[in-house]
Each structure stands twice: as C-alpha cells, then as structure tokens.
C-alpha cells in the first residue's frame, strides 16, 4: 500500500481496509465535548435570566390611572361643550361658512400691515362690521337660519371689496375688512355702499341690525386706527342707536 492508498483507506487489492480511520486524531481533540454536547450559554447574565412574571397593578396605581382617564375625558367634554355653546364661532385661516378669511388670517394680516404702514406711511382703512343680534336670532330661529344669514352677509360683503382688499370673519357676527391704498374719502364711500348692501340682506328679520366702525391710520400707526374703528363701532352698537 502506497501513501495515497493509506490515506484513501484502500488496500493493495483494491478493498477497503476495515482498520482505516478517516479521523486519525481523537474526535475529542477536534470537537471538544462542551461544544458538541452542551449548548452555548449567553455571556450576558441578563440574557440568561428568566423574564419576570407580570405584576398586578396596585390599587393606588389603578386609581391614579382611572383618575387620569377621567380627567382627559372631562377636558375633551369641556372643549366640546364650548363648541356647542358657540357652534358658529369662526376659527382658523379661513371661514367655511361665509367663504371669507378667518381670525388667524386677520391677525397675521394686521401684524404684517402694521409694519408696512409704519415704514412706508401708505394710506389704508380698517373697517369693523358687526351683525348685532345674531346671538338672539339663533335661539329663536335656529342655528341653520343664523348660518344662512352669515352666508348671505359674507357673499354681499365680498361682492363689495376689490381684489386687493381683505375680508375676514373674526367673531360670530363680526367681520374685519382691510382696505389698502384707501384714503378717507374712498373709505366713506365704501362704508356707505357696504352698509346698504348688508342691510338689504338682513331686512327679512327684525332681530338683527348692522353696525360699522372704520378708521384710517394717522402717522403710520395701525393700532390707533384699530382702536378708533372699534370705538366708532361701539357707538353704533349703543342702545337707542
């Protein structure tokens, strides 16, 4: 038997040598017993630890969780109740009821125009329009009738403004109109024109009336104009007017 035959396990006659061992070394040397017979253990003690059994919450913790849930429900209910009390209150950037801008847009507009007017001293006019009595109309005629009145007033108002003007509903029955590049003469003409248009839209109900206050900034102070417009509006809203 030559060297290759010894390695192949074959005798000179071509038969398999029954004493031939394909593993000349002890298998324990090649494959240690702890590797063959025992599974590898994790090195991290935390991985080998059995998971802790779930614990029941204490009575105090259960009460605290229940109180937190009830408090959250109460907050949601309070917000919902506020909305029910004034469902026609505008919110956001636009007012879907009247298709005008919303109170957030009005606030942003006034903020930006305040800086522009103060810097460039350009003419402008602020107009505040109030549908006085709409809160009395709603409980008598229903919310649908009050909403329809707002729709008609919003449509008539937007028909009277120019493309560069801005109209926003800023309260349930109050609108703000900003007229850039408008002097006092043009402002007076606008106020009288829009008053006639809006009164034509509310003449079917005895519960509401139109009140308007307006002002133009002097010395580039838009806040003074807003205050004066509100003062004139309150004068028209005074009892007996």
Q: What is the residue-wise DSSP string for 145-163?
A: HHHHHHHHHHHHHHHHS-T
Comparing 32 with 223, the larger pLDDT belongs to 223
Predicted structure pTM score: 0.64
Domains of the chain: residue spans and CATH: 3-46 (no CATH), 94-237 (3.30.70.270)
SS3 51: coil
Give the residue, 203 or 8, on which the prediction is more confident: 203
The pLDDT-based confidence of 45 (bands split at 50, 70, 90) is very low
Q: Is 224 left (phi over 0), alpha (psi -120 to 50) or beta?
A: alpha
pLDDT tops 70 at residue 169:
yes
List residues bridging with 129 in a β-sheet.
175, 212
User: What is the arithmetic mean of pLDDT over 99-119?
Assistant: 94
Mean pLDDT of 79-98: 72
- Across the range 148-161, mean pLDDT stands at 95
Share of the chain above pLDDT 90, in %: 49
**Mean pLDDT, rounded, of the chain:** 78
* pLDDT at 12 exceeding the cut of 60: no
Strand pairing category for 209-215 and 166-169: unpaired
- Calculate mean pLDDT across residues 67-73: 61
């Amino acid at each position: 038997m030559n060297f290759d035959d010894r390695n192949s396990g074959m005798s000179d006659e071509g038969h398999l040598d029954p004493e031939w061992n394909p593993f000349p070394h002890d298998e324990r040397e090649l494959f240690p017993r702890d590797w063959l017979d025992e599974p590898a253990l994790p090195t991290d003690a935390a991985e080998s630890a059995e998971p802790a059994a779930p614990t029941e919450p204490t009575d105090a913790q259960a009460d605290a969780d229940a109180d937190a849930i009830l408090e959250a429900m109460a907050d949601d209910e309070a917000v919902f109740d506020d909305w029910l009390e004034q469902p026609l209150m505008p919110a956001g950037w636009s007012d879907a009821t009247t298709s005008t801008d919303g109170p957030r847009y009005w606030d942003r507009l006034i903020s930006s125009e305040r800086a522009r007017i103060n810097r460039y001293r350009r003419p402008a006019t602020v107009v505040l329009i109030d549908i006085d009595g709409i809160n009395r109309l709603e409980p008598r005629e229903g919310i649908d009738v009050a909403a329809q009145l707002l729709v008609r007033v919003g449509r008539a108002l937007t028909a009277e403004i120019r493309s560069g003007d801005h109209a926003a509903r800023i309260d349930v029955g109050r609108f703000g109109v900003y007229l850039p590049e408008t002097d006092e003469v043009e402002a007076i003409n606008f106020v009288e024109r829009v008053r006639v248009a809006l009164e034509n839209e509310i003449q079917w109900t005895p519960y509401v009336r139109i009140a308007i206050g307006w002002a133009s900034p002097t010395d580039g102070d838009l806040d003074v104009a807003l205050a004066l417009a509100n003062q004139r509006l309150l004068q028209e809203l005074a009892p007996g007017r």
